[in-house]
């Protein structure tokens, strides 16, 4: 039912199941439930433009787990490459403040 395309080696998905904001206003949650029966993701359009995407709670949990896995792998790669700093909380805050001050002075 849904179509898929590949752009720059990144997976994107187009949404076949769409409802309008007015559908939700008129039909409420029933419109969302019916849309999710057709596809696992439902896009909501406002004035003809996709503005929101609705997922089931289960699909949202899977998405969050995938995001956490990506973050974990990135941290593990940083550790493997020695790209980390060992410091106290105070040292960390001071380092961040210094970075922030340098960025602020460059903008002026």
Per-residue pLDDT of the chain (108 residues; tens, 9 = 90+): 344 444 443 445 555 689 999 999 999 999 999 999 988 889 999 999 999 999 999 999 999 999 999 999 999 999 999 999 999 999 999 999 999 998 777 766
Whether 49 and 4 map to the same domain: the answer is yes
Q: Looking at the domain assignment, is residue 25 inside a domain?
A: yes
70 within a domain of the structure (yes/no): yes
Q: With CA atoms as reference, report the closest residue to 84 among 72, 73, 76.
A: 76
Q: Are residues 37 and 5 in the same domain?
A: yes
Q: Which two tokens stand for residue 73?
A: 């792998």
Residue 61 lies in a domain: no
Q: What is the pLDDT of residue 24?
A: 94
The pLDDT score that the predictor gives to residue 40 is 86
Backbone angles phi, psi at 3, to 5 degrees: -105, 155
Domain count within the chain: 2
The verdict on residue 60 lying in a domain is: no
**Quick one: 15 and 48 in the same domain?**
yes
Q: Do 15 and 50 contact (CB within 8 A), yes or no?
A: yes
Domain containing 21: what range?
A: 1-55
Please tell me whether residue 42 adopts helix, strand or coil conformation: strand
Q: What is the pLDDT of residue 15?
A: 55
Tell me: do 70 and 107 sit in the same domain: yes
How far apart CA 10 and CA 12 sit, in angstroms, is 6
């Amino acid at each position: 039912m849904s179509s898929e395309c590949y752009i720059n080696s990144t997976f994107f998905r187009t949404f076949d199941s769409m409802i309008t904001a007015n559908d939700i206003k008129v039909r409420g949650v029933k419109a969302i439930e019916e849309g999710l029966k057709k596809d696992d993701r439902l896009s909501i359009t406002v004035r003809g433009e996709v503005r929101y995407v609705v997922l089931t709670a289960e699909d949202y949990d899977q998405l969050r787990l995938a995001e956490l896995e990506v973050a974990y792998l990135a941290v593990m790669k940083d550790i493997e490459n020695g790209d980390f700093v060992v410091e106290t909380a105070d040292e960390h805050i001071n380092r961040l403040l210094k970075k922030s001050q340098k960025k602020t002075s460059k903008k002026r």
